Amino acid sequence: MQLLIFGLFFSMYMNTVFGNLLIILVVHSDSHLHIPMYFFLANLSFAEICFTSTTVPKILWNIHTQSKVIIYEGCFSQIFFSIVFGCQENLFLMVMAYDWFVAICQALHYMVIMNPQICRLLVLVSWVIHVLNSSLKSSMLFQLSFVQRWKYPHFFCELNQKIQLACSDTFLNHMVMYFVIVLLVGVPLGGILFSYSKIVSFICKISSDQSKYKAFSSCVYHLSVVSLFYCISLGVYLSSAATQNSHSSAVAHCGTQCSLSC
């Protein structure tokens, strides 16, 4: 079964990496695709490759070695990069929704509003925001006291569960984490919903059924990506909350050692 599971995850990982690499290469090589929509799509594909690579190689290594733990040092690096690339996808989806809004509702001004300089600036600002966000959370995590050299029984080290293993006061960490979630997840999601509400309102005013169908069909692919991204993210965190008790032994073990070492 280990070999079968390894092959399944490895094939899915290769499909993700090479599929997104193919998108990037096609967009880069075809001059007809050098427009904002495909520019953002290529950046989204790059972020997807990087985000997937923060977790799946560790899954493959755990299966290969039959070891179900992640070490103390690996946790910090994984948290940093997963925050950068995971949140990056979230913001790119909002920018793509805004791009569709301008293309449909402000078609005559599209090339003026979404000029190459603005597109590059949006991508640059997105990277800077998330690197700073991840650096802030990681630096605050470093300030906490932990039992050194513990091993976490998982392939992925999630920030909230890592904070719960700390010996010191974590109130500020939780406040910053929840504030950033509202800001960097709630705002992009709100922007996506707002953009599509405007798009739907605009399309409903079109008299031609053929034009309505063409406008709606152009949004289907982006909506499917948005729905898939948020539904899977919600499912992951709900399942993480539901299986929180499975990590109680690790927390209790850490708590016992904290009471002795702190």
pLDDT tens per residue across span 68-97: 777 777 778 888 898 888 888 888 888 988
Which residues have a Cβ under 8 Å from the Cβ of 86 and sit 6 or more positions away?
A: 51
Question: Model confidence at 249, in pLDDT bands (50, 70, 90)?
Answer: very low
Global pTM reads 0.80
* pLDDT at position 123: 92
| Residues paired with 71 in a beta bridge | 151
The beta-carbon contacts of 114-122 under 8 Å, at least 24 apart in sequence, are: 114/36, 116/36, 119/36, 119/39, 119/40, 122/95
Q: Is pLDDT at 161 greater than 80 in this prediction? A: no
* pLDDT at position 240: 60
CA-to-CA dists, residue 25 to 33, 184, 225, 258, angstroms: 11, 29, 20, 51
SS (H, E, C) 73-140: HHHHHHHHHHHHHHHHHHHHHHHHHHHHHHHHHCHHHHHHHCCHHHHHHHHHHHHHHHHHHHHHHHHH
* pLDDT at position 49: 93
Domain ranges in the chain are: 2-246
Q: Is pLDDT at 113 greater than 70 in this prediction? A: yes
What whole-number distance in Å separates Cα of residue 165 and Cα of residue 258?
9
Q: Is pLDDT at 250 greater than 50 in this prediction? A: no
Q: Is the distance from CB of 140 to CB of 173 less than 8 angstroms?
A: yes
Q: Is pLDDT at 26 greater than 80 in this prediction? A: yes
Superfamily of 2-246 according to CATH: Rhodopsin 7-helix transmembrane proteins (1.20.1070.10)
pLDDT tens column, 170-226:
888 888 888 888 888 888 888 888 988 888 888 888 877 777 777 777 777 777 778
Mean pLDDT of the chain: 81
pLDDT tens column, 126-154:
999 989 988 888 888 878 777 655 566 66
What whole-number distance in Å separates Cα of residue 75 and Cα of residue 73?
5
| Residues paired with 128 in a beta bridge | none
Question: Model confidence at 21, in pLDDT bands (50, 70, 90)?
Answer: very high
